[in-house]
Structure 1
Amino acid sequence: MTGRRLAETRRAWHGVAELLLAGPQYRDSGTIRLRVVPGGFATTKTPELRVEGADLVVGEQRLALPGNTPAGLAAAADIEAGVPDIYDDHSGVREDEALVVDVAIAAYLGAWFTEGEAALRRAVPSQMPVLWPEHFDVSVTENEVNYGISPGDAWHNEPYAYVGPWTARQGEFWNAPFGAARSIEELPNADAIVAFFDEGRAQL
């Protein structure tokens, strides 16, 4: 599933993660850490908010993302929109920007997050996976190596998993500027993602 609609939906999700979840949570609870939930992602502290597919869920209320603006959604959710002010690498989504979210692609990304988060828990059981809003990826760190999954980005449009040693490695396995990466096409489920992480650990 490639192309413009994937990039648009991912960008909208990223913007919502920053403007409506991580930002309000940081101002209220002092943390930007988000978590994966079935079909999407959620805050870890107050305010309690989550994204499921193409909806922002606030208590019993479901607010459709497509066509709405972060500012409008914030008003409906009774929160203050705004990115966390502790990093500079933002999605670029404006508070007054109409969000473009394809329902099928949102489900596709949600399934990838679910598989990837399950793989991270299995591969590094001592760590709790975190969805970081600045890069919008889910990761853990073990022995100065980052293991994670991304919904895609400017480097690679399709979702991918990665192994990122803090110290650069050389060799055929290490095919990315930050270490090693494999696309969702090569890693269709949690078992395959775990196998990739295990191979990366063995290559260190």
Structure 2
Amino acid sequence: MDNGEIEDIDTLVRTRRALHAVAELVLAGPQYRTSGTIRLRAALGGFATRAEPNLQVVGADLVAPGQRLFLERTTCAALADAVGVEAGPPAGLYQDGCGLGPEDVIEAEPGAAHRIAQGFVVGDAALRRLLPGADPVIWPEHFDLGVTEAAVNYGVSPGDDFLAEPYAYVGPHTRRSGEYWNAPFGAAVAVRELGGVDGVLAFFEQGRRLAG
């Protein structure tokens, strides 16, 4: 697949919703109940927990010690049961989320999952270069990877109602005006348009300058 191509949008959205559900209900919720944190991290091929239980999503698969489960016409309840955790979000911490329950059927397409994973990997590398010593976090509420510095959010979203595909964003806590600020929350550009880590970093650096 060429970097300029986009998967069928319906497939991309369906896959993103599936991955978001797994991130929230199978990784972050059980991690919160076991280890007291909802923070997830970008990992090679996808994303992972930071503490027990040791779980990772690689492409369109859930990986646990000694197990690899396909995210193909399954449910978060079934996945959680297979890896020995209880499916469910971290209770009482936020209002939004994936919008799916443990028994809802999910399915992730490998090509679309790779596109989303690459967004996280590229974003993580760019954020660490922008802010050396930063610890980018994937938050399960909105399933975005981000850091905050001086009242400005920097990150990568796997897509949402604003833009269906993975995009980099800069979001000042106080609204700015000007050509760069093209989104209701600040600025956003599709990751595929930025050409890799250097392009995403340049986008972040421009936003940092303009945010003042």
Q: TM-score, normalised on structure 1?
A: 0.97
User: Structure 1 CA distance, aligned partners of 2:62 and 2:133?
Assistant: 30
Q: Which runs of 4+ in 1 moved over 3 A?
A: none
| Structure 1 counterpart of 2:43, one-letter code | V
User: Structure 1 CA distance, aligned partners of 2:97 and 2:146?
Assistant: 18
* Residue of structure 1 aligned with 2:110, choices 89, 103, 110: 103
Task: In structure 1, list runs of 5 or more residues that go unmatched.
Answer: none
Answering whether residue 29 of structure 2 is matched by residue 23 of structure 1, we say yes
| Structure 1 counterpart of 2:54, one-letter code | E
Residue 12 (structure 2) aligns with? 6
**Overall identity of the aligned pairs, in %:** 53
The alignment partner of 2:192 has SS state of: coil
Q: CA RMSD in A?
A: 0.9
| Structure 2 counterpart of 1:43, one-letter code | T
Residue 141 (structure 2) aligns with? 134
The alignment partner of 1:157 has SS state of: coil
Q: TM-score, normalised on structure 2?
A: 0.94
* Residue of structure 1 aligned with 2:156, choices 149, 164, 178: 149
Residue 173 (structure 1) aligns with? 180
The answer to whether the Cα contact below 8 Å between 2:88 and 2:101 also exists between their aligned partners in 1 is: no
The alignment partner of 2:105 has SS state of: coil
The alignment partner of 2:194 has SS state of: coil
User: Structure 1 CA distance, aligned partners of 2:45 and 2:100?
Assistant: 21
Residue 170 (structure 2) aligns with? 163
Answering whether residue 113 of structure 2 is matched by residue 92 of structure 1, we say no
Q: 1:107, CA displacement in angstroms?
A: 1.2
Where do 1:71-86 residues align within 5 Å? 71-85=77-91, 86=93
Task: In structure 2, list runs of 5 or more residues that go unmatched.
Answer: 1-5
User: Structure 1 CA distance, aligned partners of 2:112 and 2:72?
Assistant: 12
The answer to whether the Cα contact below 8 Å between 1:127 and 1:141 also exists between their aligned partners in 2 is: no
The alignment partner of 2:164 has SS state of: coil
Answering whether residue 124 of structure 2 is matched by residue 117 of structure 1, we say yes
| Structure 1 counterpart of 2:27, one-letter code | L
Residue 62 (structure 1) aligns with? 68
Q: 1:202, CA displacement in angstroms?
A: 1.1
Q: 1:191, CA displacement in angstroms?
A: 0.4
How many pairs were matched up?
204
Q: 1:185, CA displacement in angstroms?
A: 3.2
The alignment partner of 1:51 has SS state of: strand
